[in-house]
């Protein structure tokens, strides 16, 4: 099935223009044309528009959105292989606060498209909202496996560290306690898990790149770098370090990461950590 989304949106634009001018016949003609192209896509795209356009009191908006969501649900069920339908349904259900529904919709979509990052992200967020922190940790790990460098994944990983006691996700980076096992969280001086999800963002994803940049900028061969620059060496702190060494590496870093170095997310999540990491790396390689 070819993707007619653009054509259908153009036809829907035409319909809306015609309706605004009171030309019901042209409006209907545009809809008929879209219907002939791809009926399912027409349903999804027009539901998307309707969902964004609802007006009225908060109660009315909620009621109308629930109706539109229900409509999308029956179209998605009738065309279960159209994964974009499960994505749309999950997004709408999350907006109306039906997170159990999000779990069902994402499960249906993931069954057909197991590597779909959008579905996995929506599922993870829904599990967090439902306070199912162990399944949420598992789902977030899938997200990291699929696309550990995706900004949305990095943001979730940063926002929800792992509790080292029960391995569930914590409700926030400064949580006073784990909502699952009740042990103190990072906000109360508690530890966060040093493996799996949380460190996936820091080491498993970034570390190999950082190591490569550091090795190249210091003229080390890759094999030596892989042996010398390890998590273990990072812990050894008392080595000589010149300003020149630091400047060289930081220049190489900004070349490698480009404008991502300035992105707010990258900055808040990683730059503070990178300074420390780079300093440690250089100290370690001075061994």
Binding site for Zn ion (CB under 5 A): 163, 165-166, 178, 180-181
State in angstroms the smallest separation of the CB of 115 from Zn ion. Answer: 29
State in angstroms the smallest separation of the CB of 134 from Zn ion. Answer: 9
Q: Toward Zn ion, which CB reaches closer, 165 or 212?
A: 165
Inter-residue contact 169 to 140 (CB < 8 Å): yes
User: Which one, of 105, 101, 66, lies nearest residue 85 by Cα?
Assistant: 105
Measured CA distances, 72 to 69, 90, 171 (Å) = 5, 10, 31
State in angstroms the smallest separation of the CB of 195 from Zn ion. Answer: 15
Q: Toward Zn ion, which CB reaches closer, 148 or 184?
A: 184
DSSP-derived letter for residue 204 is: I
State in angstroms the smallest separation of the CB of 148 from Zn ion. Answer: 23
Q: Toward Zn ion, which CB reaches closer, 148 or 187?
A: 187
Place of tokens 């309706």: 19
Q: Using CA atoms, how far apart are residues 139 and 254, in angstroms rounded to an integer?
A: 32
User: Which one, of 223, 202, 210, lies nearest residue 282 by Cα?
Assistant: 210
State in angstroms the smallest separation of the CB of 139 from Zn ion. Answer: 17
Inter-residue contact 198 to 141 (CB < 8 Å): no
Q: Toward Zn ion, which CB reaches closer, 160 or 283?
A: 160
Inter-residue contact 38 to 12 (CB < 8 Å): no
Six token digits for residue 1: 């099935």
Measured CA distances, 228 to 220, 234, 245, 250, 284 (Å) = 10, 10, 16, 19, 7
State in angstroms the smallest separation of the CB of 180 from Zn ion. Answer: 5
Q: Toward Zn ion, which CB reaches closer, 146 or 181?
A: 181
Q: Toward Zn ion, which CB reaches closer, 181 or 271?
A: 181
State in angstroms the smallest separation of the CB of 86 from Zn ion. Answer: 31
Q: Toward Zn ion, which CB reaches closer, 181 or 246?
A: 181
Residue 118 CB neighbours (<10 A): 17
User: Which one, of 65, 45, 44, lies nearest residue 54 by Cα?
Assistant: 65
């Amino acid at each position: 099935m070819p993707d007619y989304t653009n054509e259908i949106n153009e036809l829907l634009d035409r319909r809306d223009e015609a309706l605004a001018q009171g030309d019901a016949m042209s409006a209907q003609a545009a809809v008929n044309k879209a219907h002939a192209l791809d009926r399912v896509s027409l349903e999804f795209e027009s539901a998307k528009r309707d969902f964004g356009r609802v007006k009225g009191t908060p109660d009315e908006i909620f009621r109308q959105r629930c109706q539109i969501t229900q409509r999308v649900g029956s179209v998605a069920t009738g065309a279960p292989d159209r994964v974009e339908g499960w994505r749309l349904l999950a997004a709408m259900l999350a907006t109306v606060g039906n997170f159990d529904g999000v779990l069902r919709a994402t499960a249906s979509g993931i069954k057909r498209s197991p590597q779909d990052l959008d579905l996995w992200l929506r599922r993870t967020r829904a599990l967090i909202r439902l306070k199912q922190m162990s399944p949420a940790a598992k789902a977030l790990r899938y997200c990291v496996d699929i696309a550990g460098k995706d900004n949305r994944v990095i943001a979730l990983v940063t926002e929800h560290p792992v509790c080292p006691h029960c391995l569930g996700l914590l409700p926030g980076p400064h949580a006073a306690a784990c909502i699952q096992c009740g042990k103190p969280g990072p906000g109360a001086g508690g530890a966060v898990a040093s493996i799996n999800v949380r460190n996936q963002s820091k080491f498993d994803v970034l570390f190999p790149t950082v190591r490569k940049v550091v090795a190249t900028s210091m003229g080390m061969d890759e094999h030596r770098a892989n042996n010398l620059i390890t998590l273990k060496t990072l812990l050894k702190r008392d080595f000589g370090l010149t300003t020149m060494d630091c400047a060289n590496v930081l220049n190489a870093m900004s070349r490698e990461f480009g404008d991502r170095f300035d992105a707010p997310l990258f900055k808040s999540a990683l730059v503070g950590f990178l300074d420390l990491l780079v300093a440690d790396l250089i100290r370690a390689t001075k061994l």
